[in-house]
Structure 1
Amino acid sequence: MTAPSAPWTVPVLSYPWPEAVSPLEHDEALRREELSWLAEFYAELPAADRERYGRQGLSLGAAAMFPYVGDLARMRPIARYMLWLAIWDDHHESGTAAELTAVCDRAVEIMRGAEPAADEAGPLRLLAVLRRELGDLPGFWTDRWIASFRACATHGLLAEAPFRQGLRRMPALAGLELIREYSIGLYPFFHMTDAARGRVLPDDLYHHPAVQRSLALLCRICTLQNDLYSLRKELDAPTSDLFNAVLLLQRERGGSLTEAITEVVAHHDRYVRELDSLLRHLSDLDPRLAAARPYVEQTTLIITGIDRWYRSPGTGRYRPDGFAQEVPRGAALPG
């Protein structure tokens, strides 16, 4: 897509929650490890894509999202999972339902503790390593992690497929947001909060409607945040992402890019206000939710941390030399 001639800018987003800076956000040892993971587990990717992912600094993004984890050993599986999820999303959004289902099923087996064969795809071996590093978490936690992963694959990537393939007309913003709530991939990543905290939120609190609404709002905030920060990349790319909310609104309304940006920011801010209100009144809804408040507060750090990471000059996630190229249909996909 050709960039518009009229000047435009994405405003700095703001959040009402405390912001913390991780001691690992600029850790060179963690960066070196990430580059070694790319070399060891993603050898089947083109060298140019491995270099691009290396410039993104995904491990430092994970550190920014979990600023209360100052120990490299505890951060390592979270950073590995950040890398795994990012590449999973980039390389499976154009896959067929059969391809995605098969690789999803095998990933789930490994998440449950199965060991990959020595000749299996590198990403599956990386998933097995991080699963072992997460330690002995209760079975109900694993069930939640897997259910979230499957939901993102089914209601996210698989739901996007017919639109990306031109088989259906693009949905309005409300429909797009419902799909993107899952395809952004945050639901399974939220479970790293339990591993980072060293304690697991009980099942009854995790499944409480107020906690589930909080997590849904966080996903929606993150998708709009992502669409704003990736806008320059989309405009500079030969073909833009159909699922970018700014570009969808501009096409729907026929207005300027600045008008679409303003509307998306306002939408983002409404979700932020709802989440902040919900967080402040959790105990009013149910006294038991006082015990869930620290969990939800720590998930808000994922949003403020990734916002800081997007704005950091240290990440190339959405710079032309950082984002991975689109995978052609029919190309071999990493596990």
Structure 2
Amino acid sequence: MNSYQNPLSLGYYPFPETSIPAHVERLKEDAEGWLDNDYTFLTASERRLYKIANLAYTTIRMLPNENTSYERMKPAVRWMVAVTVSDDYYELSTREEIQHAAERVRSILLGADPLPDEMAFFHQYAIMRDEYRAFMPNEWMERMAKDMYEYLLFGIREMTAYTATGTRPNLAVYSIIREFDVAVIPFMNFVECEIGFTLPKHVVDHPVIQRIRSLMGKIIGFQNDFYSLEKESVRGTSKVPCDLIRVMEDEYGLTFGEACKEALRFHDACVTEFVALQSALPDFGSINKDIENYALHMGIGIQGLNTWYHLDTLRYKPDGYRDIEKRDSILPENKNFL
């Protein structure tokens, strides 16, 4: 592991890199304020780790349109903080707890109020929902609710079966779980807010668009595997690390170096397919330009997140390696959230 070199260099992907808006610093201040004032169940050291993760920049790098207003970007940053904290929180939870969380998130996004004693991220999802109602249609929010439900059920909950037993899935299963458990599919809905065009249902349901969404989930999930490899190796918990490289080692009996090369080949094949679909979109008639712009900005999101890893965050660098022991330190004090 000491000789590991991440193969995903700055500018690795064949997608444009665009400038980020000036109000990113204002959004960064917002994110840090939420961590201090709303996520009070976190310790001061845990809040520091989320601050050096620089989650506002994650969002802006993936949605870098400089013409997107502060008001449209703020709820996306709010979502990014909420999903990152809750993702860490539920990582070592039971299937039943995650099932409950999935149902609550879906209900809240569809209009239910969070309970006074529920965790802070449920309340943040409710605020985000109300912020988006100002400029996004109900159909869009219904899709977001569905995508969030599936992220928790098909991604986070399915991974807990392996976490609990200290095992890893085979490559076929892992590829599906990873597509969901990085929350990229719900995040992609924010692209529509950025470009000012809401995809009609018949477009979202088209198998080519569905496949593009699926591939983006896989690409970003595998991208994260390369960046988190060292971090997950030194976490100091009993959790068995699970990523594309280790799955390749298990499945094919490869050495670490061989597994890294095979994982990169697997990742790059997804990128190649993504690019091929971008360049051969179905004919949607009068909205073809809007769909092309949507697909373009999805690629920009992949490139932007890679840039964030290199330039903006300490979450995957030595200063951010110390594990956030959220399960052991805060869950016993908050059992009444269920």
Q: TM-score, normalised by structure 2?
A: 0.89
1:122-201 mapped onto 2 (5 Å cutoff):
122-136=120-134, 137-166=136-165, 169-201=167-199
The residue correspondences of 1:229-244 to structure 2 (distance < 5 A) are 229-239=227-237, 241-244=240-243
Per-residue CA distance 1:168-200 (angstroms, 9 max, x = gap): x53211211111111111111111112222221
Structure 1 segment 100-115 matched on structure 2, within 5 A: 100-115=98-113
Q: 2 CA distance for matches of 1:151 and 1:121?
A: 20
Question: Does structure 1 conserve the Cα–Cα contact (< 8 Å) formed by 2:178 and 2:222?
Answer: no
- The 1-side partners of 2:40 and 2:327 are apart by 18
| 1:62 partnered with 2:59 | yes
Identify the range of structure 1 (205-214 vs 317-326) with the bigger mean alpha-carbon deviation: 317-326
TM-aligned CA deviation for residue 106 of structure 1: 2.1
Aligned to 2:40: 43
Match in the other structure for 1:258: 257
Assess, with a 3 A threshold, how the Cα gap between structure 1 residues 120 and 179 changes in structure 2: closer, same or farther. closer
Match of residue 91 from structure 2: 93
CA contact (8 A) 1:24 1:63 kept: no
Provide closer, same or farther for how the CA distance between residues 241 and 166 of structure 1 changes in structure 2, counting only shifts above 3 A.
Answer: closer
What amino acid maps onto 1:157 in structure 2?
A: I
Equivalent position to 1:207, from 201, 205, 208: 205
- Whether the 8 Å contact between 2:89 and 2:327 is mirrored in structure 1 is no
What amino acid is the match of 1:195?
C
State the AA in 2 paired with 1:243: C
CA distance in 2, matches of 1:175, 1:118: 38
| Deviation by residue 1:17-58 (Cα, 9 ceiling, x = unmatched) | 212121248x43222211100012210112211111011001
Q: Is the 8 A contact 2:232 2:241 kept in 1?
A: no
Deviates more, 1:15-24 or 1:245-254: 245-254
1:90-149 Cα shifts (integer Å, max 9, x gaps)? 111211122122222222222123333444432222112221211342222122111111
Distance 1:287 1:15 in 2: 29
Identity of matched residues, %? 28
The alpha-carbon distance between structure 1 residues 8 and 242, as it changes in their structure 2 partners (threshold 3 A), is: closer
1:51-106 CA distance string (max 9 Å, x none): 11011001111011100144322211111111111112111121112212222222
CA deviation after TM superposition for structure 1 residue 277, in Å: 0.7
| Offset of residue 205 of structure 1 | 0.5
Q: Distance in 1 between matches of 2:78 and 2:100?
A: 22
Which one of 80, 83, 86 corresponds to residue 82 of structure 1? 80
Match in the other structure for 1:271:
270
CA contact (8 A) 2:53 2:314 kept: yes
Q: Output the aligned Cα RMSD.
A: 2.3
Distance 1:66 1:241 in 2: 33
Q: Which segment is superposed worse, 255-264 or 200-209?
A: 255-264
Counterpart in 1 of 2:6?
10
Residues in 2 aligned to 1:120 and 1:253: alpha-carbon distance in whole angstroms = 44
* Aligned amino acid, residue 308 of structure 2: W
- What SS class does the counterpart of residue 18 from structure 2 fall into? coil
Q: Are the aligned partners of 1:59 and 1:79 in contact in 2 as well (CA < 8 Å)?
A: yes
Match of 2:31 among 26, 30, 34: 34
Residue type at the aligned position of 1:95: S
The answer to whether the 8 A contact 1:282-1:289 is kept is no
User: What code does the residue aligned with 2:241 have?
Assistant: L
